[in-house]
Amino acid sequence: MTNLHTAAERLRASDPRAAPDEAFTESIRRRYPTEREVDAVLTGKMRRRGGSPYVQPTLEVLVEGARKLIEASLGYEVAISEAKWLSGGASKLQVLFTLHWSGFEGASGQAQSTQLVLRTEPAASITESSRMREFQVLRAVEGVLPAPRTFWVDADASYLPFPGIIYEFCRGVAKPSVDPGKVSGLGQNYGTVLRPKLASQFVDMLAALHTIDVARFSMLESFEIPKVGSNEAVIKQVNAMRRVWAEDRLEDEPIMEVVYQWLIRNAPPIDQVSLVHGDYRNGNFLFDEGTGEITAWLDWEGAVLGDRHRDLTYATMRSFAHVAEDGKTILCSGMMASEDMFAAYEKASGLKVDPERLKYYTIFNMYVLMVLILGAAARCSYGAQTHQDVLTNYLTGVGYPTLAELCDYFEKNAL
């Protein structure tokens, strides 16, 4: 022991991830190759980490940045009013504001006011992601399922402190008034009246997303399009998560290496390329509580081109489910039993649900959750890198139960 520092300081100083040097970052990049845009985002995160402590930008700074971004695009002056913080989500800063402008035609256009949302990043996120990819995917799904209409993107933070997008404000609530206390959708119960209305849309919209016209893939310039019959894209997606684990973890869990090796060795070839939401579950859509209509799907930052089973198994994870009123049925994402969801999905999409791929992506998604909760969320809080440190810290409470689930499932299906 040395008396030069407190024990806590010694612990922090021993952490190679707290202020990583270029060689550390490069070694991880080389070891776990992934998509180019994902690589750029993760590398940026590592380079920021050793810098100044994160100070949350004020509302005024963000409004000013948004105004400059919009004016640079439109070529004329606009005004912003009624700006306020928007709650929701564990990872991004969101500001609701009213834009007073004259449309895309120019200053001589008709004066109008539009409610918009600025979605931008803190220094680090539980889900580090590309605003450009989020912008492109929102454009690609326009008219396919309800999602915010995008207006502008500041992909390289030319106007804002960090990259951001501006999209339309969507009406609706994320939590029902019968069960308003749940955090981030975990175990959200929509109640017996709303549930059947939401459940059918939940499945139909997933089917619509996965069968989107492939011509729209050309709008996804920041995405790599997988080859049918190849598992190369799957391996890159696994590597992206393995890389986050290598970059963010506070302490290792050796089972994560066991599971990673298995995921690489058993990556199935993609039989049909789908646009995958990546976070398709309760808590990530808005709805009208009166009509039961889903009004918008949110949180597209984890979207990829890949295998539909990734969304199917994510939506049916135990972490997002709750037990029905009968005391035994597990309602996936608060909607329906998994077998009912898969059957309804096959009917709606015309696509087969493959049991072997379900097994693979169940393990994959548990691995993803572990990386994000025990790795990224714990790192964000430890490093004081977000405006939601207290939430990301709290969410680690779901990490070990999910790890227990992963152990049990892996033992039965993979070991």
How far apart are CB 247 and another protein at their closest, in Å?
Answer: 14
**Three-state DSSP string of the chain:** CCCCCCHHHHHHHCCCCCCCCHHHHHHHHHHCCCCHHHHHHHHHHHHHHCCCCCCCCCHHHHHHHHHHHHHHHHCCCCEEEEEEECCCCCCCEEEEEEEEECCCCCCCCCCEEEEEEEEECCCCCCCCCCHHHHHHHHHHCCCCCCCCCEEEEECCCCCCCCCEEEEECCCCECCCCCCCCCCCCCCCCCHHHHHHHHHHHHHHHHHHHHCCCHHHHHHCCCCCCCCCCCCHHHHHHHHHHHHHHHHHCCCCCHHHHHHHHHHHHCCCCCCCCEEECCCCCCCCEEECCCCCCEEEECCCCCCEEECCHHHHHHHCCHHHCEECCCCCCEEECCCECHHHHHHHHHHHHCCCCCHHHHHHHHHHHHHHHHHHHHHHHHHHHHCCCCCCHHHHHHHHHHHHHHHHHHHHHHHHHCC
User: Between 187 and 226, whose beta carbon lies closer to another protein?
Assistant: 187
Q: Binding another protein by CB under 8 A: which of 52, 87, 108, 110?
A: 87
Q: Binding another protein by CB under 8 A: which of 59, 337, 348, 407?
A: 407
How far apart are CB 12 and another protein at their closest, in Å?
Answer: 9
**What are the strands of the beta sheet with 112-120, ordered from one edge?**
79-85, 93-101, 112-120, 164-168, 150-154
Q: Binding another protein by CB under 8 A: which of 84, 227, 347, 352?
A: 84
Structure tokens at 33: 């190759």
Q: Are 158 and 188 in contact (CB under 8 A)?
A: no
Interface with another protein, residue 266, by CB under 8 A: no
User: Between 38 and 256, whose beta carbon lies closer to another protein?
Assistant: 256
Q: Using alpha carbons, select from 386, 310, 329 the residue that is nearest to residue 121.
A: 386
Interface with another protein, residue 54, by CB under 8 A: no
Query: For another protein, which stretch binds (CB under 8 A), given 19-27, 67-75, 79-87, 269-277?
Result: 79-87
Structure tokens at 24: 């550390």
How far apart are CB 270 and another protein at their closest, in Å?
Answer: 24
Query: For another protein, which stretch binds (CB under 8 A), given 4-12, 45-53, 62-70, 285-293?
Result: 4-12
Interface with another protein, residue 254, by CB under 8 A: yes
User: Between 117 and 304, whose beta carbon lies closer to another protein?
Assistant: 117
How far apart are CB 105 and another protein at their closest, in Å?
Answer: 36
User: Between 4 and 8, whose beta carbon lies closer to another protein?
Assistant: 8
Interface with another protein, residue 403, by CB under 8 A: yes
Interface with another protein, residue 23, by CB under 8 A: no
Interface with another protein, residue 61, by CB under 8 A: no
How far apart are CB 261 and another protein at their closest, in Å?
Answer: 5
Interface with another protein, residue 325, by CB under 8 A: no
User: Between 205 and 398, whose beta carbon lies closer to another protein?
Assistant: 398
Interface with another protein, residue 252, by CB under 8 A: yes
Q: Are 240 and 372 in contact (CB under 8 A)?
A: no
Interface with another protein, residue 318, by CB under 8 A: yes
User: Between 102 and 396, whose beta carbon lies closer to another protein?
Assistant: 396
Angle at 110 between CA 106 and CA 115, to 5 degrees: 90
How far apart are CB 265 and another protein at their closest, in Å?
Answer: 9
How far apart are CB 141 and another protein at their closest, in Å?
Answer: 27
Q: By rule CB under 8 A, what count of residues binds another protein?
A: 43
Each residue 175-204 as x (binds another protein by CB under 8 A) or -, in order, gives: --------x--xx-----------------
Q: Which residues, numbered 335-394, are part of the site for another protein (CB under 8 A)?
A: 388, 390-391, 393-394
- Which positions touch another protein (CB under 8 A)? 1, 7-8, 10-11, 14, 84-85, 87-88, 183, 186-187, 250-258, 261, 318-319, 388, 390-391, 393-401, 403-404, 407, 410-411, 415
